[in-house]
Amino acid sequence: MWVTRVSINNPVFATMVMVGIVVLGLFSYARLRVEQMPDVSLPFVDIETAYPGASPEVVESDVSKPIEYAVNTVSGVKRIYSNSREGRSQVFVEFRLGTEVTRAIQDARDKIALVRPNFPRDVKDPQVIRVEIEDNRPTISLAVLSPTVELRELTSLTDQTIVKAIENIPGVAQVIVNGRVTRQILIQIKPSALTSLGIGVDQVMTAVQNANQDVPAGRITRGHNDSIVRVEGKIKDPAQFSRIIVAQQGGGPVYLSQVADVIDGEKELDSISRINGRPSITIDIRKAQDANIIETGRGVREAIESLKARLPQDVEVRLVYSQADQVEASVAQVKATIVEGALLTVLIVFLFLHSWRSTIITGLTLPIAVIATFIALYAFGFTLNMMTLRRDRRAREHRAPPGEGQDASCGGARRHRRDRARGHGHHLRHCRGVRADRVHEGHRRPVLLPVRLDSSGRRAGVSVRQFHARSDALLGLARSRGLALFARALARPLHGSRRT
């Protein structure tokens, strides 16, 4: 081949090319993202719309069909499926392969915005969601627990300190808090008091809303500086709710405490979290799609260590689950398997050929070939995941038994012919260029086929239990093991042997 010819005639050029491949490969490897599975972009979009209290027929006619007609005009649409049930509409849009899903989602949102004013008043805003193949499990789960601090205080500490620190970590896309206990001021109306005073519930609601809000008071301009003025009116102390004036009767005010009970309580729980039977707050962290899962995991660990100095001593932030650790362990295991396979290949080459030169060549070829694949992975936007690493490993496992034998046997045959050519006075460069096709016609045969040839280069073969091999090759292997009787038997012409 021309590559072989150029490499032999220009050894310095060939060496520099290999060095360049190694440098580019290591550069690409350092920038490859590590994931558990490869990124798969599915051309599907899910449009969900809530219509509380509506029957399936009304949802279909008022919501699903208008969305179908609007989305059908988006470029690249292949199929549209819709599911209308009580109080909810779901429209599933499939795009053709090769369609840029991000742009298609934006086009779908624009089309839906045009028909949104025609929906009934109670219809909620449609949610356009991209369908992902990623696992719904969080990337990392944390638990916040304390033996002395109440869950309500622990929730406030989590929202104000821990969540804000985690959201600033590069690669974090979403932080979900479960098991939180939120403070809530409950106002329980006294119906008998309202009836006796002639006050309606709407008056109480209006009075509470007006008393518990920040009011903008305009703007003050001084030279080139503009200042916005706002009057803070939100109530911070629950006792202040009791002094809200609800109405004026008999020349005096009617306070909220006269018509209602004000209770400093807690919001109804929508989730409960426990760690080993202890109530706690759990934090589920999901990474961004283009983020490195291992780097994100390391960032979360560093944030946990830095939070220890800012949190009370009796508050513990515990790492419950980390997908990054599993991915890192799996990738490390696959890497170790590849290294073990390479070392075994080099060892087998040395045991069969008994040549340090061939062993060194094989030992250099294997890592260079693997490093070169990182260039293609980085250039085409692939990630370092179980599929890409497993493909490399499976390729090695599939080729290892015949490949090692082929490389060793062909290399041995080439060196044998090269040495004989040098004995006839040929130049070393010519000897190196002996064409490999002289031995490639038997490359599918077992390892013993071209290990050794006789002095004249004849190819007289014998068939021993379906294994095609040279008699001198078996003789050399038998002598190396001290089987003299078997060696003498193989040196004689065998009855029924096949000759070429």
Measured distance CA(458)–CA(29) in Å, rounded: 48
- Split at pLDDT 50, 70, 90, the class of 49 is very high
CB 162 within 8 A of CB 292: no
- Alpha helix (H) ranges present in 32-124? 56-59, 65-71, 101-115
Name the average pLDDT for the chain: 75
Measured distance CA(211)–CA(221) in Å, rounded: 28
Structure tokens at 108: 């779908």
Model confidence pLDDT, tens digit, residues 10-31: 888 888 988 999 899 889 888 8
Model confidence pLDDT, tens digit, residues 449-496: 333 344 444 443 333 333 444 445 444 544 444 444 444 444 555 444
HSE value, Cβ hemisphere, 13 Å, CA-based, for 437: 2
427 vs 169, which has greater pLDDT? Answer: 169
Model confidence pLDDT, tens digit, residues 228-251: 777 777 777 777 888 888 888 877
DSSP 496: T
pLDDT of residue 330: 76
pLDDT of residue 486: 46
pLDDT of residue 91: 92
Structure tokens at 59: 């949802």
Structure tokens at 345: 């290949």
Measured distance CA(86)–CA(15) in Å, rounded: 71
Measured distance CA(431)–CA(421) in Å, rounded: 6
Model confidence pLDDT, tens digit, residues 375-420: 888 888 787 776 766 655 444 444 443 333 334 334 444 444 444 4
Q: Which residues contact 335 (CB under 8 A, 6 or more apart)?
A: 389
Q: Which fold has domain 183-266?
A: 3.30.2090
Q: Same CATH topology for 44-130 and 183-266?
A: no
- Whether 270 has a pLDDT exceeding 60, the answer reads yes
Model confidence pLDDT, tens digit, residues 195-213: 888 888 888 888 888 887 7
**Burial class for 367, CB neighbours closer than 10 Å (0-12, 13-18, 19+):** middle
CATH of span 44-130: 3.30.70.1430
Question: Counting every residue, how long is the chain?
Answer: 500
The pTM (predicted TM-score) of the whole model is: 0.54
Measured distance CA(108)–CA(128) in Å, rounded: 8
Could you tell me the residue ranges of all domains in the chain?
Answer: 44-130, 183-266
Structure tokens at 48: 């969900």
CB 130 within 8 A of CB 45: yes
Please provide the DSSP assignment of 316-372 as one string: EEEEEEEHHHHHHHHHHHHHHHHHHHHHHHHHHHHHHH--HHHHHHHHHHHHHHHHH
pLDDT of residue 47: 92
Pairing of strands 140-145, 281-287: antiparallel
